[in-house]
Structure 1
Amino acid sequence: MNYAAQHHIGSYQHTRTETTTAVTPTVGRVRQLDAKTKGRQQSAERQTEIRTDSNVANAILKCTFLPKLKTAQSVQACQKTERDFYKSLSRLAEHYSIEPMQTQDFEFPYNITLSMWDMETKLKRTNINWDGFKLIQNSGKTYFVSEERYNTGTTLYYIPIKPLFKMLKDPKRKKTAQLLLSVCSYLYHIVLIPYYRQEESYLYWLYETMNDWVEQDEETAETETNKRELRNAEYIGDKIEQKLFNHINLKVFEKRLNRFKSVDTFDSECWKIARNAFALYTEYPSENIFRNATLPEKDPYDNDENEIIGMEKYISFIADIKGWLYGSLSDTINNEFSEYGAMEEPTISKRFDVSEIPTTNLDFENRLFALLDDLCTILDDYKTTEK
């Protein structure tokens, strides 16, 4: 199954009483946000800001600077800007281990423009999470602010638990299921992945909405089947959550990992996922998925509070990723998300002035989202695997 398939958002057609034959995969493209609405707005601080453009080739053309006036005062101001710029550039280059181009011999402001283009080009090549930087001029000081971001690619990270429920009842896969149970317990307790049976979760509300629709619809040949699917989603969700809640799954995680014997390719893939999860658990024992969640900058004069997709909406445990119920859920989700203009994503900002530079990075997020992708894939593959 292609887990990065594009799902087109068209006119919404309600299909509550129809059996869906083609459904959205768990980790799949929901929609590509419009480039005109996805960009961040200018911050409320109203600082003079020179930001690198996403098109590096046009970066030089799109940078703007104060006019170069031939007065003693303006010359001093330009010299101060240059000094601050190169000090900040030096700190930026050292932090990211980049050798900057020597541009001091070029005339101001072209030396600054060239330096920014050079750094942007090199950082894009060397930093997988590079999202750009801003040159800030504030209170007579000039300095860089960089931004690193994990790009989720408008992807739904929904972990289906029905395959795990079935696996636990399969004598041939019980050890495999217990290993994945430790993985999911780590995601539940430590990483804080939302669970669809928790009332505060986004998907809980959607499941309740589906239930209300079925109850209010006219009776059809599919009504009882749909009601049964909803009841099963609740039952399986409650049963698996009881198991995930038990901290014994974390205590015996390493033991299960070390004692596990792979019989086939499916087992080997499950063991690799568990190994990667345990490595994250060991290296980041208390970090959760929302630790660097940052909302995109908004226009301070825009009072619309419902234009950003929060991380809790596209990351969650879910009952299943097949059947009428998931088809209806995905229709509703796609329809709702089409109204949003941006996504909340893990982001780190670093300021390169005289203050201390943070040493944080997005290594945890890079590895965690890859883990979620692999876990969703292997759970979906369970049905086609036999020993």
Structure 2
Amino acid sequence: MPYPLNIIQDFNRLKKQLESREAALELVFLQEEERRCLVTVKTFDTGRTLFYLPVSPLYALLKSRKQKAFADLLLSVMAYLYQITGVPHFREDYVYLEGIYGMIEEWVTDDDYSEDKQERQFMTDHFEMMYARGDYTLGRMSAKKEVMEFEERVRRFKAKTQTETDLLDCANKLVALQRDYPDRSVMERMRPPIETDYDDGYIRAEQYLCFYWSGVDCLQDHLFDTVNAELNEYGVIEEPVSIQFFESRQEYPLHDMDYERRLFEILHGLSDVLYDLEHGEPNG
């Protein structure tokens, strides 16, 4: 084939060979400013799951003071995920869920939503409560001491129930992850999908990974209906990726997704713990 068709032919042949060996590995010609080279890209599949972690169980435990050791351990887990891992909180400015909650608030407190003034007032009061308690949890999760005391709280904690055992398991795995990958953030290797038409948009990491208020309150259906309707418009998603550059000879593959695999396993486990806590007694 004449140049440059021979380059395209060789690229497509290599791409097919690589994908036949490992479906998750992709060959891409990358151009970034002055850098132009072949790269292999491995993407961690998040399963297109909404990792929304409710903070209402944490608020209830911190205020009850009946299970202080359990509350402190949960606080340290969530504080680490917020401060170090980089999971955003819905009460931060410009976070996706902050905007979604604001949009729902305008809708359900408008006169056109319901002619019942008592219902509209109930919704107004609920938002005031949610914002105040959300600010409280954000303040507690932002405190540096909650992360500094994390390992000590894990060491001292004695689980008595299945939920406490499950939380301790998540905490132990998170401590081990911290030791192996100190100060690592899940956002570090998040990249927009390669070869994406940005005009069509894509699902950003903060849109599916965030702390929110509650999954059992009066806003649950509004929240998830709104989020699902918006995110279903996008065909691609921002996920953690590993990139190996071939500007020089590479002796072996360098795609290690161990951190992401272990972290998302922890997030699944923590989601189950928070679900059990929310459905054990009413919140909001």
Please give the TM-score of this superposition, normalised by the length of structure 1: 0.62
Q: 1:135 to 1:278 in 2, by over 3 A?
A: closer
Note the C-alpha offset of 1:235. 1.3
1:146 to partner: Cα distance: 2.9
Task: Select which of 184, 187, 190 maps to 1:293.
Answer: 190
SS of alignment partner, residue 218 of structure 2: helix
Q: Trace 1:11-26 onto structure 2 (pairs within 5 A).
A: none
Question: Is there any run of 5+ residues in structure 1 with no aligned partner, and where?
Answer: 1-46, 52-63, 66-84, 86-111, 124-129, 137-142
Q: Residue 91 of structure 2: SS of its match in structure 1? A: coil
* Inter-partner Cα distance in structure 2 for 1:184 and 1:135: 37
Aligned residue in 2 for 1:381 = 276
Q: Deviations over 1:104-150 (max 9, x none)?
A: xxxxxxxx97xx37x834x4xxxxxx6133387xxxxxx97432111
- Tell me, yes or no, if the aligned pair for 2:85 and 2:184 is still in contact at 8 Å: yes
Alignment of 1:266 onto 2:158: no
What one-letter code is carried by the residue in structure 1 that aligns with 2:110? Q
Return the offset for 1:324: 2.5
For the structure 1 residues 135 and 271, does the alpha-carbon distance in structure 2 shift closer, same or farther, using more than 3 Å as the test? closer
Q: Could you say what secondary structure the match of 2:27 adopts?
A: strand
| Deviation at residue 154 of structure 1 after TM alignment | 1.2
The 5 A counterparts of 1:270-289 are 270-289=167-186
Task: Determine the C-alpha separation between the residues in 2 that align with 1:287 and 1:159.
Answer: 20
Cα displacement (A) at 1:208: 1.2
List aligned pairs for 1:37-116, cutoff 5 A.
48=8, 116=17
Code of the residue aligned with 2:133 in structure 1: it is I
Read off the aligned partner of 1:361 and give its amino acid letter. D
Letter in 1 for 2:70: T
What residue in structure 2 maps to residue 222 of structure 1? 119
What SS does the corresponding residue of 1:324 show, helix, strand or coil? Answer: coil
Q: Percent same amino acid among aligned pairs?
A: 29
Taking only aligned residues, the RMSD between alpha carbons, in angstroms, comes to 2.7
Structure 2 CA distance for aligned equivalents of residues 211 and 156 of structure 1: 21
Q: 1:383 to 1:311 in 2, by over 3 A?
A: closer
Q: Which residue of 2 aligns with 1:233?
A: 130
- Is the 1:266–1:385 Cα contact (8 Å) retained in structure 2? no
Cα separation, 2, equivalents of 1:165 and 1:235: 11
Q: Kindly provide the amino acid, as one letter, of the partner of residue 209 in structure 2.
A: I
Q: Comparing both structures, which one devotes a greater share of its residues to helix? A: 2
Aligned to 1:120: 20
| 2:48 is aligned with 1:154 | yes
Kindly state the Cα deviation for residue 331 of structure 1 after the two structures are TM-superposed. 1.1
Q: Deviations over 1:231-258 (max 9, x none)?
A: 2210111111111111111111111111
Of 277-286 and 214-223, more deviation after overlay is shown by 214-223
The answer on whether the counterparts of 2:90 and 2:213 sit within 8 Å (CA) in structure 1 is: yes
Runs (5+) with no aligned partner, structure 2:
1-6, 30-36
For the pair shown, the structure with the greater C-alpha radius of gyration is 1
Paired residues in the alignment total 264
Q: What corresponds to 1:201 in structure 2?
A: 95
Distance 2:127 2:279 in 1: 24
TM-score scaled to structure 2, two decimals?
0.83
